[in-house]
Amino acid sequence: MGNEKLQQQYDWAKEEYAQYGVNVDDVLKRLADVKISMHCWQGDDVTGFMNPDQELTGGISVTGNYPGAAHTPDQLRQDLEKAFSLIPGKHKVNLHAMYVDTDEPVDLDEIEPVHYVKWVDWAKAQGLGLDFNPTFFSHPNSEDGFTLSHPDKKIRDFWIEHGKRSRKVAAYFGEELGQTSVNNFWVPDGYKDNPIDRLAPRKRLMESLDTIFAEELDRKYTLDAVESKLFGLGAEAYTVGSHEFYMGYGITRNKLICLDAGHFHPTEVISNKLSSLSLFSDGILLHVSRPVRWDSDHVVIMDDELQEIGRELVRNDLLGKTHIGLDFFDATINRVAAWVIGTRNTLKALLKAMLEPTEYLRKIELDGDYTSRLALTEELKDFPFVAVWDYYCQMQNVPVREEWLKEVKDYEKNVLVKRSEEVIGIE
């Protein structure tokens, strides 16, 4: 699409939105300030580089064998760079602890900032931030389904040490990059069938977390977050870290509470939780995912819930206290494309919400004019949002509309397929 046509469409869109007092130029400035934390584990199917032959555990399952999965940190960074070149704005990368980049063997209870120096150097060069996650799965000490709530103190101590060291790594990220690093704690602990004692594991988890968080770290550099889950594979009947557990823990310990779109009942949505949680917490961590019947971590699409999440964040002015990350993985499609689709859609949902005349809609609601509220919110769905999005992509020097897909296909042909052929030994 030519620049002149894009400008014409944008000018027309500005006029349409200006009828309701929306300054589209200002909206695009707001959107440019939003940072999405793009998860590294989409690029290698949650394998990591600490022990890539270790079976994937913790209730996590990745299906598919699309060519081109990253097998080294350099390959993963190369793929991330490609994805970011197709996504407007400057963002962050979300690392798991198992994505160390070091030549020395290291276990999870031994990690230090030095094992992630190459990631920090790369992030500096790319102008990106880094978030972090301790890895409480895919390890011999998690094989029976318990980590921080394990009845064996020796195993608990191993994971406690890992948690402590993870916090130091996250603080290092924040100090070096000048962007606060969110460090998110999720553990897969739970029972497949009904337990007798639901209380004791939760007490052990609480005590383990208290030990990990005992040292005060500068919140300028890192923020701790805790993430709940309804159930997982192998923990269908009981999850130690339930929503109620972490809601109570996060509020009483001044931690960010992570809401993952896939970690609740199949008919439960997180959009309706954001306003309530904002009243009682200093900040929120949001994991944008797409559950299909369960926590299946599908690539994020522009569905109703994603748009509703965007509206809640914008209408209630929550973007300043919400850290937005992605959490999905799909090995049935091009992994770079998955990143691009999910991240662009998340930004689109926020842009659509920013283009609403929120103050005007709030006024007619307070006036009791529910007819106008319904009529306008429906009509606004047909306003020329796409013209604004296209112009924003052009401004940010990334492909407009589906043009990005051609670049991904070229990258697949010239990089990803050749990478797969090298792995299986094809000359």
Indicate which residues carry an active-site annotation.
186, 227, 229, 260, 263, 287, 295, 297, 327
Nearest residue to 251 (alpha-carbon basis) of 230, 276, 286:
276
How far apart (Å, rounded) are the C-alpha atoms in residues 361 and 402?
33
DSSP 229-291: -S-BTTBSSEESS-HHHHHHHHHHHT-EEEEETTSS-TT--SGGGHHHHHHH-S-EEEEE-B-
The answer to whether 109 is annotated as binding is no
The answer to whether 295 is annotated as binding is yes
The residues with which 223 forms a beta bridge, in sequence order, are: 182
Q: Please give the span between the terminal C-alpha atoms of the chain, in angstroms, as a whole number.
A: 40
Q: Tokens in use for 391? A: 């112009």
State whether residue 272 is helix, strand or coil. Answer: helix
The answer to whether 56 touches 62, Cβ cutoff 8 Å, is yes
Which segments of 380-416 does DSSP mark as H helices, in order? 385-395, 403-411
Nearest residue to 250 (alpha-carbon basis) of 239, 260, 259:
259
**How far from the centroid of its chain's Cα atoms is residue 113's Cα?**
22
User: What type of residue is 118?
Assistant: K
How far apart (Å, rounded) are the C-alpha atoms in residues 104 and 323?
33
Residues in the chain: 427
How far apart (Å, rounded) are the C-alpha atoms in residues 231 and 238?
7
Packing angle between helix 403-411 and helix 335-354, nearest 10 degrees? 160
- Asked whether the CA dihedral 51, 56, 58, 61 is positive or negative, the reply is positive
The answer to whether 226 touches 269, Cβ cutoff 8 Å, is no
Close Cβ partners of 265 (under 8 Å, ≥ 6 residues apart): 230
The answer to whether 79 is annotated as binding is no
- φ, ψ dihedrals at 130, nearest 5°: -130, 130
How far apart (Å, rounded) are the C-alpha atoms in residues 284 and 201?
25
State whether residue 377 is helix, strand or coil. Answer: helix
User: What type of residue is 283?
Assistant: G
Binding residues for Mn(2+): 263, 295, 297
Summarize the annotated binding site as residue ranges: 263, 295, 297
